[in-house]
Structure 1
């Protein structure tokens, strides 16, 4: 006769039920761990909040790196270097100015010639900044060196009682003027030239003088004469 199953035996768990029970227990275990981690994170975040300004979290300043705004720089170029082309242009301008003074004297007399010469001196020479080392060709005695604007003007057009020996070099009826350079030295804003200037007058006669010039390029870009030495060639 087969044994009869008792009440306790009828409640025994099947293998499937046992597996489901173990799965539920595992889920409960992981849920408890997750709860503990969330609590820890909340506490840590609270600690961070206590030392970081409250607005930082809301503005998202901690969630992404700040991108600096870099403005374009203001660039200034100070180019005071003199060039050979500037020097040659200044020399050519000096010759043209001399011929213009001579022409104005022929057409308008000393008044017109003197007005033109004054403009030439103000534009070509650096007297407005101080003395110029100017030694004209035909000067002597105490008036050999013309470091002032008045002395330079008298050399070009004469007619100044303070310089009685000046007859006005630019009043000669000059027709051509040519610069022949032997040396051109460039150093920063300064240039020095040495050579000859050859003139021809209305009769075609040529006059050559030895010429040394010193040019300075000013901050405004203009080129001014700061040294001018002129003399007749030596004849042994």
Structure 2
């Protein structure tokens, strides 16, 4: 059964992983292996289906139903996804969530929030997020839906 504490832990883990991927890249580590592991541990691509709509995607590659597509969005460098620059490589030095709200439904948590990103160049953006977290058979919490968009600016 999903709990409020599990929601907060899942959101914080997601935020921490954004910073961690950028740090591995900045330090010259194996960012592809690290980011692939983040996807396996935190998204349900290896065991099921994931609905993922990254913030800065469009056209035929708006949605990323495969782990390969998600990895490309995170770190770039995949010729099959020529518009991906590697969002998580900036690097982001601080990431946090705010204004979260959620519905708990059995082994699922349906969550909306804002996520704030501070870059190493002191840039600051925030995006609107929707997640569905699932408590999987192995006990781990993984994302089965991740939708992200920039706030509407009239």
TM-score, with length taken from structure 1: 0.64
The answer for the alignment partner of 2:26 in structure 1 is: 106
The answer for the alignment partner of 2:47 in structure 1 is: 129
Match of 2:70 among 137, 141, 152: 152
- Aligned pairs, number: 154
Distance in 2 (CA, whole Å) between partners of 1:131 and 1:225 is 10
Cα offsets for 1:177-208 (capped at 9, x unmatched)? 00113311101001011010001011222110
TM-score, with length taken from structure 2: 0.96
The structure with more radius of gyration: 1
Give the structure with the higher percent strand.
Answer: 2
Match of 1:196 among 109, 114, 127: 114
The answer for the alignment partner of 1:187 in structure 2 is: 105
| Superposition pairs of residues 158-173 of structure 1, within 5 angstroms | 158-173=76-91
Give the structure with the higher percent helix.
Answer: 1
Higher RCO, 1 vs 2 (CA within 8 Å, ≥6 residues apart): 2
* Runs of 4+ more than 2 Å apart: none
Which runs of no fewer than 5 residues in structure 2 stay unpaired? none
Distance in 1 (CA, whole Å) between partners of 2:56 and 2:43 is 19
RMSD: 1.0
Contact 1:181 1:193 in 2 (8 A): no
